Amino acid sequence: MGTHATHLLLLGAFSALMLYVTRVVPETQGSLWTIAAIGFLLLSGTLLSELLAPLGLPHLTGYLVAGIASGPYALRLVDEHTVKSLSPVNTLALSLIALAGGAELDIETVRKGARSLGWAMLVQCLLVLIVVTGCFVAVARPMIPFTRQLTPTALVGVAMLWGALAVTRSPSATLGILSQTRASGPLATFTLAFVMVSDVVVVVLVALVLGCVRPLIDPSATFSLDSFATLGHQIVGSIALGTTLGLVIAAYLRLVNRQMLVVLLVLGFGVSTVIEYLQFDSLLTFIVAGFIVRNMSKQGHKFTAYIEKTGTVVYVVFFATAGADLDVPLVRQLWPVALLLAGSRSLVTWGGSLFAGKMAKDAPVLRRWAWSGLVSQAGLALGLSVIIAREFPSIGPSFRALAIATVAINEMIGPVLFKFALDRAGETSRVQPPTFPSMPPPPMS
């Protein structure tokens, strides 16, 4: 029996077992069931990713498809309550993703590509914001029901919010693909640097747009600078805390270098809670911490290796949970306009990449493929949609529903495009990492 046949048989057997248990014991809740759900998502996501690998699809696609099939809107092997209970795993995954992203950013490499990065950041942010805003206005009345009751000025304000949301990228998808493929080269380096720096730019951009459109959507509101003061406090505080955290991690790696699994768990759960309490940006904090470890010490490669050994399993559960949490009926209902908005965003991303590459005099590989890693969207876009919905409750639920449907399309298509581009650029490693890497045992005292 071949390897793929074995994977298919195991996937069918585990799925049948879960299907039987959920039908015999329908009220499956509690900590034991949560652990069982984690185990099943881990196994099904890994097995399905191996089955899809010969098609050239990234492992992320397998994780997402396994989650969607297992979720409450398909086979119902994992119910909605269990999906919500897995949120701590998502917190750990996002912290590891941000730490790994920061630790991969070598300052010398970024400095060499500063021209390309600067042109791409300027063009992508402005072009996507302007063109997607215009596209939203053009299709709003005939295709988006909740916009039909808005005044023309309010419609422009909502469209600007959508344009700002479209600027977001997905660090989790980028790191997931790079972790799987072990890609190395100009395209991988550029995409990683762009996506990580883009997070900081997007946070500032969304705050600016929120302040500007408030009087357009709510005539009783006035323009205020208070939100910008809060934003400045958040960014400065996050950078300061991230710098301190990075120095502490570097010192620990040099002086102790033991029980790193426990340290990463503390960072993912404990430090994330402190950051939330201080109202800082956790993603920015962890990116800065990883960047400091890489560039202000000699422990960067060691730290990255620890994260990769721990993070692979966490990534599987994270993306499988994202698939299980996907509201399939909502996507089915809104897919025409969501597909149109996602397509316009991808098209302008491609066009902006060509223009930026020409202005920066990039290498041919970047001119051709730099856009491919900028299509994915995930947690950051959804998080910002929650903030927008909270700030504008009159349009909030409908706006967030459309954001979920559009992000779902970008989340499924983006990783496939990025891996395809890395393969065509010749930057992927032929030797794939093991599916279930394990942490080395801690040294005995």
Q: What is the CATH number of the domain that holds 312?
A: 1.20.1530.20
- Say how far apart CA 333 and CA 206 lie, in whole Å: 27
Residues 6+ apart with CB under 8 A from 368: none
Same domain, 14 and 140: no
Q: How confident is the model at residue 27 (pLDDT cuts 50, 70, 90)?
A: low
Neighbours of 57 (CB within 10 A): 18
Same domain, 79 and 216: no
Return the higher-pLDDT residue of 207 and 251: 251
Say if 391 falls within a structural domain: yes
Return the higher-pLDDT residue of 368 and 89: 368
Say if 430 falls within a structural domain: no
Same domain, 21 and 141: no
Domain residues for the domain of 406 are 91-424
pLDDT at 223: 61
pLDDT at 149: 85
Say if 441 falls within a structural domain: no
Return the higher-pLDDT residue of 348 and 49: 348
CB of 338 closer than 8 Å to CB of 85: no
User: Helices H, strands E: what count in the chain?
Assistant: 19, 0
Same domain, 195 and 141: yes
pLDDT at 224: 62
Domain count, the chain: 2
What's the number of CA atoms in the CB half-sphere (13 Å) around residue 278?
20
Same domain, 124 and 34: no
Same domain, 29 and 71: yes
Task: Show which of 38, 68, 85 is a domain's final residue.
Answer: 85
Work out the burial of residue 46: count CB atoms within 10 Å of its CB; fewer than 13 is exposed, 13-18 middle, 19 or more buried: buried
- Say how far apart CA 302 and CA 294 lie, in whole Å: 9
Q: Tell me which residue of 315, 322, 312 sits closest to 67, measured CA to CA.
A: 322
Give the chain's radius of gyration (CA, Å).
22
Same domain, 55 and 70: yes
Q: How confident is the model at residue 351 (pLDDT cuts 50, 70, 90)?
A: very high
The angle that helices 300-324 and 226-255 make with each other, rounded to 10 degrees, is: 130
Report the largest interatomic distance among the alpha carbons of the chain, rounded to a whole angstrom: 70
Neighbours of 368 (CB within 10 A): 17
Say if 60 falls within a structural domain: yes
Task: Show which of 42, 64, 85 is a domain's final residue.
Answer: 85
Say if 174 falls within a structural domain: yes
Same domain, 55 and 197: no
Same domain, 78 and 115: no
CB of 414 closer than 8 Å to CB of 349: no
Mean pLDDT along residues 315-330: 78
Q: Hunting for tokens 């997931």 — which residue is that?
A: 176
